[in-house]
Amino acid sequence: MNIGILTQPLKNNYGGILQNYALQTVLKREGFEPYTINLHYPPTPKIMLWTSILKRGILKYILHKNIALRALPTKKEASIISHNIDRFVSENIILTEKFHKEILNITKQYAFSAYIVGSDQVWRPQYSPCLTHYFLDFLDKNTDVKKIAYAASFGVDNWEFTPKQTIKCSALAKQFNFLSVREASAIELCKKYLDVDALQVLDPTLLLKKEDYLNLTKQDNIPERDNLLFSYILDKSDKKISLIHKAVKKYNLHLISGMPSRSYKTKGFKENLSDYIFMPVTEWIAGFRDAKFVVTDSFHGTLFSILFNKPFIVVANKARGATRFASLLKMFDLEERLITGSDFDNNLLYLDYSEVNKIIEKERDKSMAYLLNAINAS
């Protein structure tokens, strides 16, 4: 059976890529043939790029703002920055052809018997410009293919859809055969605004075990490291940097970051291309493998810390959806790991995972049963 998976484009996002890898892996193990639909948004028009440079030039040279003149890398530079990520995707994830407007015509040629929407924040408008695509608007409502939402996420616990989007997506959501979400709060949002019932399931990354990810690091021969503090910070701030340095000093650890030292999205694009290159996905995984302590503001950074049984602290990333953190930590009774201030206790270096691992096993079994039932139900 061919299955089409619709998730966020697989760009420089370790969590987004690995959740897709995990979902494809468990489906292949069950004998299915999954394809991730290669949703490809057209490049930014040149006129917009030149307009951006002009505006930044005014800010830099006339208003004397300390910013880079160029906000984006060239196509060639972007390819170099993401080549480690792209290699993992090409070697480990099965993609359809690239498409955008031709979504219905191209997906027909794969003869999908089922479509799975998820995971990640596919139902958050600001992350999904073609929001209704993630409700399968390109399929005929009378089609006999299965329509499944697996661990779809709104990212937040408030409603961000416009009234027009709400009406359209509510009608489309009612056409799903099975509908599940990643956060507990999403159950209420589905009921209140989309008028559909939903079930909470695990993020796809937890459908695999730690050993599955360790096998990836072994394939790439990633060497092990000692006394490591692994930081995975998506949005840097003085507060987060201070927390990291306090932990390094307090626990006498060596710091390694899971992100490039520079980000053109926040600071603009400057020289030293190597500062922007993303590390290999397997090296990122090895950061959790080797860590004695993790500091993160990422949902999947939190999730991999838990999966690898590592002591960690997480700074809730409100801009990217704080609800995801609260729901995840509550599921495993780890709310004390959420840091809201600028300090933390010494005892955070120790964490007993015996009960957490039991919960993971139980929820993994439930989530896999739900997914297979959704696909195989007559």
Give the pLDDT confidence of 158-168 residue by residue, as tens digits: 999 999 999 99
Question: What's the rounded Cα separation, in Å, for the pair 66 and 40?
Answer: 33
Strands 95-99 and 114-117: unpaired
**What is the pLDDT averaged over residues 20-39?**
96
Whether residue 239 has pLDDT greater than 70: yes
Looking at residue 43, its pLDDT comes to 62
Indicate the range of 43-57, 76-90, 161-175 predicted with least confidence: 43-57
Between residues 63 and 94, the one the model is more confident about: 94
pLDDT at 374: 98
Q: Is the per-residue pLDDT at 42 higher than 70?
A: no
Residue 44 has a CB neighbour count (10 Å cut-off) of: 10
* Greater model confidence, 263 or 257: 257
Instruction: Tell me what pLDDT residue 104 has.
Output: 66
In terms of Cβ atoms closer than 10 Å to its own Cβ (0-12, 13-18, 19+), residue 81 is: buried
User: Which CATH number is correct for 219-359, 1.20.5, 1.10.30, 3.30.1490, 3.40.50?
Assistant: 3.40.50
| Residue 107 pLDDT greater than 90, yes or no | no
Question: If you average pLDDT over residues 75-90, what whole number do you get?
Answer: 93
CB burial of residue 154 (10 Å; 0-12, 13-18, 19+): buried
Please report the pLDDT score of residue 267 as a whole number: 65
- 108-118 tens-digit pLDDT: 788 899 999 98
How far, in Å, CA of 226 to CA of 260, rounded?
21
Q: How far is CA 144 from the centre of its chain?
A: 30
- Give the closest residue to 312 by CA, choosing from 289, 291, 327: 291
Cα angle 43, 49, 50 (rounded to 5 degrees) comes to 145
- State both tokens at 243: 């927390």
Given a cut of 90, whether residue 316 has pLDDT beyond it is no
In what helix (H) or strand (E) does residue 48 lie, and over which residues does it extend?
Answer: helix 46-57
Give, rounded to a whole angstrom, the gap between the first and last alpha carbons of the chain. Answer: 14
Q: Residue 100 has what pLDDT?
A: 66
pLDDT tens digits, one per residue of 193-224:
999 999 999 999 999 999 999 999 999 999 99
Q: What is the pLDDT of residue 323?
A: 72
Domain chopping of the chain, boundaries:
2-43+75-206+361-376, 219-359
Q: What one-character-per-residue DSSP string does 340-351 give? A: -SS---GGGG--
pLDDT value at residue 50:
74
Half-sphere exposure of 339 (CA within 13 A, CB side): 22
Residue 346 CB contacts under 8 Å (≥ 6 apart), including other chains: 250
Work out the mean pLDDT of the chain and round it to a whole number.
Answer: 90
Is the CB of residue 184 less than 8 Å from the CB of residue 330?
Answer: yes
Output 87 or 266, whichever has higher pLDDT: 87
Q: Which residue in this structure is represented by tokens 């960690």?
A: 312
Band of the pLDDT at 346, cuts 50, 70, 90? Answer: low
Q: Can you give the three-state secondary structure of 245-272, one letter per residue?
A: HHHHHHHCCEEEECCCCCCHHHHCECCC
Average pLDDT over residues 361-367: 98
Architecture of the domain whose range is 2-43+75-206+361-376? 3-Layer(aba) Sandwich (3.40)
Percent of the chain with pLDDT over 70: 92
Give the C-alpha separation, 258 to 49, whole Å.
Answer: 29
Rounded alpha-carbon distances, angstroms, from residue 214 to 71, 92, 184, 368:
36, 15, 29, 21
Q: Give the list of residues 6+ apart from residue 293 with CB closer than 8 angstroms, or none.
A: 229, 230, 247, 251, 253, 310, 311, 312, 348, 349
3-state secondary structure 163-218: HHHHHHHHHHHCCCCEEEECCHHHHHHHHHHHCCCCEECCCHHHHCCHHHHHHHHH
| Region 330-354 average pLDDT | 83
pTM of this prediction? 0.91
